[in-house]
Structures are given as structure tokens and as C-alpha cells.
Amino acid sequence: MVHALFLNCTLKYDDTESNTKALIEKAQGLMEDRGASTAYEHVLSYDIGFGVTSEQVHDGDEWPELLEQITAADILVIGSPIWFGVRSSVAQLVIERLDGTYEDGDPETGQYPLYNTVGACIVTGNEDGAHDVAANTLFNLSHLGCTIPPNADCYWVGDAGPGASYIEADGDKHLYTNRTARLLAENTIAMAEQLRENPLKTNLNEIEEEARQVSE
């Protein structure tokens, strides 16, 4: 059974109601229906400092605790609202902290902790920006070692300008969004199962050594 972790990067400190949470829950349910185990974390329920390391940046920094869950997952799903056309500062903060994992590679293979993890992205906004959020987030995850299966993004946005968000707009009845949620669930699970059975095996240390010889 593969395990999926959903991170809600909403700007709301209170985890009671969040549009991003609502869409995450839909995808989460679909993954469980397909036999995956899942977990949900509301990032702002943690005290996480700004920085680019895996270690605490201040006393009480709870990043290491969240990171442990991230590296234990087979599927990592970043959920973010759109603000000013791009991902939230909280989502950006999470990605920045993951920079530290570049240093946490396996000594023998050099490979990053997220290698052989599957990456995905869930986005909500009242309008425009989902492509930018998903493109950057999935690309960053691929740099961090993740594999991105087809159609690994699920989003809802309304039409141009201010307006109702996912919950208020009955986004859970939106055909396209429901279709993307199903695609995300199926493709991430299929890929995670495949990577569990046949993990990718590139040795970063050897690559580095070979590249060095050519470059000199």
C-alpha cells in the first residue's frame, strides 16, 4: 500500500475552512478509494521558519518534524491557493526548506531523499494562476528528485476577477476539476507502485565524477 501526504499551504492559520483543504479532501478520498493510505497536514499549524536547511532555523522550528513525514511519503502532494497569480508564500516556504534535502543525500548514491517519490499539485483560486502554480511546483519537485506522472495537477479556478472560491462556487460539482482529481489519484498511485517495485537507480556521485572529468 502506497502512502500519500497532502500539504495544505493556505494562508489561513485556522484549519477549519479552506478552499484548498476542500479540494485536497476530494483527492484524498479518491486515493483512499484506490487503496492508498493518506495523511493531511496544514502547514501553518506548524511553526516553520524561513530558510533553506533541513535543520531548525530557530528554537521551536518544527520543520524537521514535517520533513520526516515528507520523506516518508511515496506521494507528495503540495496544495496551494493562488495569490497574485502565483503560489502562496507558505507553499514557497515549504519548497525553500526542501532545498536542504539536496544536502541530505544517501552517502553512497548521492541521491536526494525525495528520489523515487511521486510529486503532485492541487491548486485553488478564485481566478487565474493555476498553471503557473502547478508548473513551478511540479518542476521544483522534479529537481528535488520526484517523478511527475501524467496529469499530476488538479485545480479549480473561477472566471476573471474577484469572485466565489471553490467551496462557495460549488466547485465539487465542476466536471473538469473532478476529472483532474481522478487523474491525479490514478496516475500518482500507479507511478508510486511502479517506483516501489522498480526504483530508479541513478547514482549521483558517479554522475558528478564523470561530469567533472569532462569539465576539466
Tracing cell 511521486 back to the chain, one arrives at: 118
Pick between residue 69 and residue 193 the one whose CB is nearest to its own copies: 193
Shortest spacing between CB 120 and its own copies, in angstroms: 10
Determine which helix (DSSP H) or strand (DSSP E) holds 125, and give its type and residue range: strand 118-125
SS3 category, 209: helix
C-beta of 72 vs 207, nearer to its own copies: 207
In the complex, the smallest distance separating the C-beta of residue 101 from its own copies, rounded to whole angstroms, is 12
CB of 59 to its own copies, least distance (A): 12
Please say whether the beta carbons of 154 and 30 come within 8 A: no
- 121 phi, psi to nearest 5 deg: -150, 135
Angle CA(30)–CA(3)–CA(62) in degrees, nearest 5?
115
Cβ nearer to its own copies, comparing 5 with 148: 148
Q: Which residue has the cell 484524498?
A: 28
Q: What is the DSSP letter of 4?
A: E
Contact 15, 49 (CB under 8 A): no
- Work out how close the CB of 200 gets to its own copies at its nearest, in angstroms, rounded to a whole number: 5
**Residue with Cβ nearer its own copies (79 or 129):** 129
Distance CA 132, CA 187 (A): 21
For the bound state, the minimum distance from the C-beta of residue 39 to its own copies, rounded and expressed in Å, comes to 22
Residue among 6 and 115 whose Cβ is closer to its own copies: 115
